[in-house]
Amino acid sequence: MLKIEIPRVECEKLTPTYGKFVIEPLERGYGHTLGSGITRIMLFSIPGIAVKWLKIEGVKHEYSSIPSIVEDTTEVMLNIKKINVKTEYTEPFFMYIDVNKPGEIKAGDFIPYQDNIQVEILNPDLHIATVKEENCKFSMEICLEKNTCYCPAEEHKNTPDGYIPIDSLYTPIRKVDYLVQDTRVGQITDYDKLIIEIHTNGVISPDEALDISAREFQEYLKFFIALSDETFEGIMKPTIPKLEDEILHKDIEDLNLSVRSFNCLRRYGIVTVGDLVQKTEEEIMNLRNFGKKSLDEIKSKLAEYNLALKQNED
């Protein structure tokens, strides 16, 4: 079976809501295969919390005006959709607001009905509504649940009387993109570099989202492995060590080889130290006019950098 290079995964930037990851080198075509699979799983499979119903005292439907409130019901519903909630609780739960004085109502003003539920609102300063009159009473309840992807209001089942269903964006992934570029290993340039950029709402970190998606992808692929009894020994082979990249990109001229050895390597397209360490002793000795003395010289120079020629594969 053909051996392929083990790719490196690097995190170029990471914040609580944004991450940029680079995976290389990948065999040609694997960039799109992995990028498409992982990003689709990320968008459709990672669960999150969202509001599914709301109830405002004195309001029967979403087109009603709300007494003593500047915003109408539709505006309030749009604001409610933006609440980002984090909790370990997995069942649907209710939160409420009771206000009897003028002022701004924010997402952080919501309180869970059940004392045993630990809820963190990640955007507590999010504007919900504005009470404009003295001596008024404004009450609102919202029902939240954990789910995946997106559910339009009309698909919420068993809505209780007096509650208004709301479009629910459950996924904590706000945006995910992938890009495939060309990269190289030594003199070979037909490898893929996969770049994945992930934006979340803060409920989950981008690196955690990538980890969960990759693990779920792996679990699904296991179904296909069971279809055959053939022994699988793996197809990955070690690639150039990341720690030594700077040395491996050096020109072989920096090794201070003899003129004979240097010219011979150059003649056969061996330009960098990285090109050289991917050759076996046998391959080097097969180069025209290359002898044992020159081979020993190369091995000695590479050893100074804790490097060696590639081992022969059995």
In the listed set 207, 237, 267, which residue is the last one of a domain according to the structure? 237
Query: 314 in a domain, yes or no?
Result: no
Determine the pLDDT at residue 62.
84
Q: Which of 218, 217, 223 is nearest to 41 (CA)?
A: 217
Q: What is the DSSP string of 213-269?
A: HHHHHHHHHHHHHTT--------EE----GGGHHHHTSBGGGG---HHHHHHHHHTT
Place of tokens 């992808």: 217
pTM of full prediction above 0.85 = no
Determine the pLDDT at residue 235.
58
Ranges of the chain whose pLDDT falls below 70: 1-4, 226-245, 313-314
Residues 90 and 134 in one domain: yes
CA dihedral 290, 296, 302, 305 (to 10 degrees): -160
Q: What is the CATH number of the domain that holds 22?
A: 3.30.1360.10
Residues 70 and 215 in one domain: no
Query: 9 in a domain, yes or no?
Result: yes
Residues 62 and 113 in one domain: yes
In the listed set 237, 268, 284, which residue is the last one of a domain according to the structure? 237
Query: 310 in a domain, yes or no?
Result: no
Residues 182 and 206 in one domain: yes
Determine the pLDDT at residue 73.
92
8 Å CB contact between 161 and 60: no
Q: Which of 6, 36, 45, 40 is nearest to 23 (CA)?
A: 6
Determine the pLDDT at residue 245.
62
Q: What is the rounded distance in angstroms from the CA atom of residue 108 to the CA atom of residue 82?
A: 12
Query: 219 in a domain, yes or no?
Result: yes
Place of tokens 């080889």: 257
CA dihedral 118, 124, 128, 133 (to 10 degrees): 100
Q: What is the rounded distance in angstroms from the CA atom of residue 78 to the CA atom of residue 296?
A: 73
Q: What is the DSSP string of 26-65?
A: EETTHHHHHHHHHHHHHHHHSEEEEEEEEEETT--STT--
Place of tokens 């100074």: 304
Determine the pLDDT at residue 270.
84
Q: What is the CATH number of the domain that holds 121?
A: 2.170.120.12
Residues 69 and 17 in one domain: no
Q: Look up residue 100 and give its two tokens.
A: 């009897």
Residues 76 and 141 in one domain: yes
Q: What is the CATH number of the domain that holds 273?
A: 1.10.150.20
Q: Which of 7, 22, 42, 86 is nearest to 210 (CA)?
A: 42
Query: 313 in a domain, yes or no?
Result: no
Determine the pLDDT at residue 233.
59
Residues 110 and 68 in one domain: yes
Domain that holds residue 118: 47-169
Number of domains in the chain: 3
Determine the pLDDT at residue 5.
72
8 Å CB contact between 15 and 139: no
- Residue type, position 260, single letter: R
8 Å CB contact between 131 and 98: no
Q: Exposed (0-12), middle (13-18) or buried (19+): which is 195, by Cβ within 10 Å?
A: middle
In the listed set 142, 169, 196, which residue is the last one of a domain according to the structure? 169
